[in-house]
Structure 1
């Protein structure tokens, strides 16, 4: 017990990193949830109402909240990027005419 914050076994325990199996379950539940969102035409996770509630429940149960935030933000950004690239391609095609 001293001022040194590292190596103290009495300090609050940090959560252990997820195992390979836990990561795999998280990714599978994310993929199932996002597939459901795609099926109902929703881009932003959490705005689908009750349409994908079962998939969302499993997703939130198997993934860490920080991972959920990251995956959801990446999904929104990927759709925005896809839209911007489509607009740029359309502008390029129009400019070549």
Structure 2
């Protein structure tokens, strides 16, 4: 990935998204054990701009949280106020 602040071109975006998908598949198979997906993580970080890596990491956490809420329901934490 180039280090300039220019936006990635179409082939760079495609490479980034492919690397992200490979990493996410590995994490799904390995119950989010990042040590099992070092190769995919390194590939993802090298093919995507740093801001995208940060965004996609937060996005994955959000999607997993959303999926958990939809499948298991919401349970307030102990001591949370009941509105």
Same fold, judged at TM 0.5 (above): yes
| Bigger relative contact order, structure 1 or 2 (CA pairs below 8 A, ≥6 apart) | 2
Equivalent of 1:85 in 34, 56, 70: 70
Q: Does 1:48 align with 2:34?
A: yes
Q: Look at both structures and tell me which one has the larger radius of gyration over its CA atoms.
A: 1
Quote the offset at 1:38 in angstroms.
Answer: 0.6
> How far apart in 1 are the matches of 2:59 and 2:5?
24
Per-residue CA deviations over 1:20-61 (Å, capped at 9, x if unaligned) read 00000000000001100011011xxxx522x11111111000
User: Which structure dedicates a bigger proportion of its chain to helix?
Assistant: 2
- Give the 5 Å matches for 1:1-97: 15-42=5-32, 48-49=34-35, 51-88=36-73
Quote the offset at 1:70 in angstroms.
Answer: 0.6
Q: How many residues align?
A: 71
Flag structure 2 segments of 5+ consecutive residues without an equivalent: 74-83
RMSD of the TM alignment (CA)?
1.7
Flag structure 1 segments of 5+ consecutive residues without an equivalent: 1-13, 89-97
TM-score (norm: length of structure 1): 0.67
Runs of 4+ in 1 over 2 A off after TM superposition: none
